[in-house]
Structure 1
Amino acid sequence: MHVTICYLSKRPVPPPLYGGGQRAMYWLGKALIELGHKVTLIAQPGSHIPGAELRPWPKPHGSDYGWMRLIPDSTDILHLRSVPLVPMPKPYVLTIGGNGEPGQQFPPNTIFLSRSHAALHGSTHFVYNGIDPAEYRCESERGDYAVFLAKASWDVKNLPGAIEVCRRAGVELYVIGSRNWPFGLQRRLPVIRGVRYLGMLGQAEKIPLLARARCLVFPVRWHEPFGIAVVEALASGCYVAATPYGALPELVTVETGVLSRRASDLADAVRHPERFDPSACVRRVTEGGFTHIDMARRYLRYYEQVLCHGELENNGQLPQTAAGFDANKLLEWHCGKS
């Protein structure tokens, strides 16, 4: 099958620093090629997927659909990451990475990132993001620090909550996803009350830190569509201390972490790494359906459904964000002592 992945954004595929969606599409293309399929990538100049043809398009998604001229005639199916506003010249699927606005409708061939993400948008179609576990390491000797891995400036990611959890636990917190200063000056700062701000890191710097970290602290306060940082941490042998929102109960088991709305519960988990086996965390990824190959095989089943039937079955209704749903409303979080 010839799959053309179109990712129109300001960042290349894969991104040099932040960008979980771009990285997921990189892993998808890589896996499709490993499974014997042909992949063309339409994305920012400088993008690359090993074995794929790049057809560069420098403009982010907008009203200019000139990129459609780049679609190879031999394409069987397009894989899009933004809602098309004009008819597509080829059959397509659309992956939605975020949460929609109240009442927002999506095309019938929309695929979400988790069971809970799909349900919030009136759908049953989802594919978990998968990572290439060969890119990650799990060290037997773990460091005495926890990691926060998310866009720190976004309130729903709850960096203050992660700091509170680690201060209660008496464990240093490494923040990956804070603002980068000129010349990397943020990395020269001393530890500030138990918190080390590392800025945005690429894979080469992030992977060694995850490989030795005690755990990931991920107290999000929104309906997390997936949580690729969680899977990256598990693949590195880190257990997870997080809130039970969105997809997180689908990712984190009792063997691989603790889910709670209470800072005190998460601090207790951070304080006791002996409760968790790093190898069980790695197996959660490799045996639990969260590898890039798992992701590609699920998408292939959806591609085949679209090619055979024209569109995905949605019981006669388009996927639609639940009425009254506010993606950015901060969900419950308890910082009290108990």
Structure 2
Amino acid sequence: MWARRQTGPVVPNGRPTHGGFIPVSRRLRIAMIAPPWFDLPPEGYGGIEYMCSYLVDGLVDRGHQVTLVSSGRNGTKAQHLRTYEFPQWRRLGEPLPDLVHAASVRHILRSMEIDVIHDHSLMGPLLAEERAVPTVVTAHEPVAGDYRKYFSLLGNSVRLVAISSSQRMSAPDMNWCATVHNGIDPASFRFRKEKEDWILFLGQCIPHKGMHTAIDAARAAGVRIRIAAKCGEPAEIEYFESEIRPRLGDDVDWLGEVGGERKRSLLSEARCLIFPIAWDEPFGMVMIEAMASGTPVVALNRGSVGEIVDNGVTGIVCDSPADLPAAVERSRHLDPENCREASVSRFNSALMAERYEHVYESVIESR
């Protein structure tokens, strides 16, 4: 099997890649470990699960044997083994589902012949040291605080993959083996050139996603905002009651959590996606989903935003919340074709799968 390695953000072993054809030596047997919280793909919120779904299908399309270990329904092309019959999203925040999931994975993997394990769960990497095959772990959160300490304590038992250069540079001393941007299937998103006169917030109802800032900016810009957000956990409900409910009005449409075709319609119709994050976002899948729909992104310059949004081309990157209202107005003049092209060429799932394929080859050889 031959694969074309494309220029991109993969940096295996700290060395930039280059264009050209390289041989992929064999069909790999990959165990993909998802978190236990949502189906794959999820019906609504679930950025990690969306990423896993796209990656699994991309790897299968490239000829690899992928076994997905997760809870609930499997909508991917991989072989599937369950740790829970139903996803455990109602128990988010409890430690036991993740512990039971990790223990189940340990039992499952004992009877499998595999070349590499790719673990996206929180507890699972603790078991990497006892394994004869290498474990790759994608860091889906900012590598700071306890999360950074956790990966430091894991040491060389796992090989870490960053999802943005910003995330990687925030903790350069970690055991990184590559940087791979997340990808989606652009063909699964509706491209629409003509937009409606409202803006969209899509995400989770928590302070660091900046929903309250989005409402304030939309109101200052004199434009309607539609909010599609997950809001079911106690912390989400508390934030909604304290910061969001007082801001609701005739110019704010609260839609709740959306997924599937409803989400795709909203992304394609909105004048822009507003992304006023108040933390160092490691990636932000919703940004590339918006771009795939031809919708520019108006965002605050935190974390990976500057890597994903081409300022003045696929969106407007702001340094301060005070700049957001003017950026919302400027976004109407950006070309949807440029947004779509960036998603297709830079953030597609086939390219993500190819890059992870070479990560796996690298860690297997180094092991």
TM-score, scaled relative to structure 1: 0.83
Q: Distance in 1 between matches of 2:332 and 2:255?
A: 27
Q: After TM superposition, give the deviation of residue 269 of structure 1 in Å.
A: 2.1
Query: Where does structure 1 differ by over 4 angstroms across 4 or more consecutive aligned residues?
Result: none
Q: Answer yes or no: is the 8 Å Cα contact 1:256–1:281 preserved in 2.
A: yes
Q: Which residue of 1 aligns with 2:327?
A: 269
Question: Are 2:222 and 1:170 aligned?
Answer: yes
Unaligned runs of 5+ in 2: 1-27, 89-96, 234-247
Structure-to-structure mapping, 1:54-65, within 5 angstroms: 54-58=80-84, 60-62=97-99, 65=103
Question: Are 2:74 and 1:16 aligned?
Answer: no
SS in 2 for 1:54: strand
1:204 to 240, 248, 261: 261
Q: 1:85 to 1:199 in 2, by over 3 A?
A: same
Q: 1:230 to 1:26 in 2, by over 3 A?
A: same
Q: Which residue of 1 aligns with 2:126?
A: 85
**Share of identical aligned residues, percent?**
29
Question: Are 2:354 and 1:297 aligned?
Answer: yes
Q: Distance in 2 between matches of 1:93 and 1:177?
A: 31
Higher relative contact order, chain-length normalized (CA < 8 Å, sep 6+): 1
Q: Which residue of 2 aligns with 1:135?
A: 188
- Root mean square deviation of aligned Cα: 1.9
Q: 1:159 to 1:5 in 2, by over 3 A?
A: same
TM-score, scaled relative to structure 2: 0.77
Q: 1:75 to 1:36 in 2, by over 3 A?
A: same
Q: Distance in 1 between matches of 2:53 and 2:131?
A: 22
Structure 1 residues 139-181: Cα deviation after superposition (integer angstroms, max 9, x where no partner): 13211111111102x1111111101111111111111114369
Q: Answer yes or no: is the 8 Å Cα contact 1:174–1:195 preserved in 2.
A: yes
Question: Are 2:81 and 1:43 aligned?
Answer: no
Query: Comparing 74-83 with 125-134, which one deviates more in the overlay?
Result: 74-83
SS in 2 for 1:206: helix
Query: Comparing 106-115 with 293-302, which one deviates more in the overlay?
Result: 106-115
Structure-to-structure mapping, 1:236-247, within 5 angstroms: 236-247=293-304
Unaligned runs of 5+ in 1: 182-190, 311-338
Q: After TM superposition, give the deviation of residue 90 of structure 1 in Å.
A: 2.5
Q: Which residue of 2 aligns with 1:149?
A: 202
Q: After TM superposition, give the deviation of residue 107 of structure 1 in Å.
A: 4.0
Query: Comparing 61-70 with 110-119, which one deviates more in the overlay?
Result: 61-70
Q: 1:274 to 1:198 in 2, by over 3 A?
A: closer
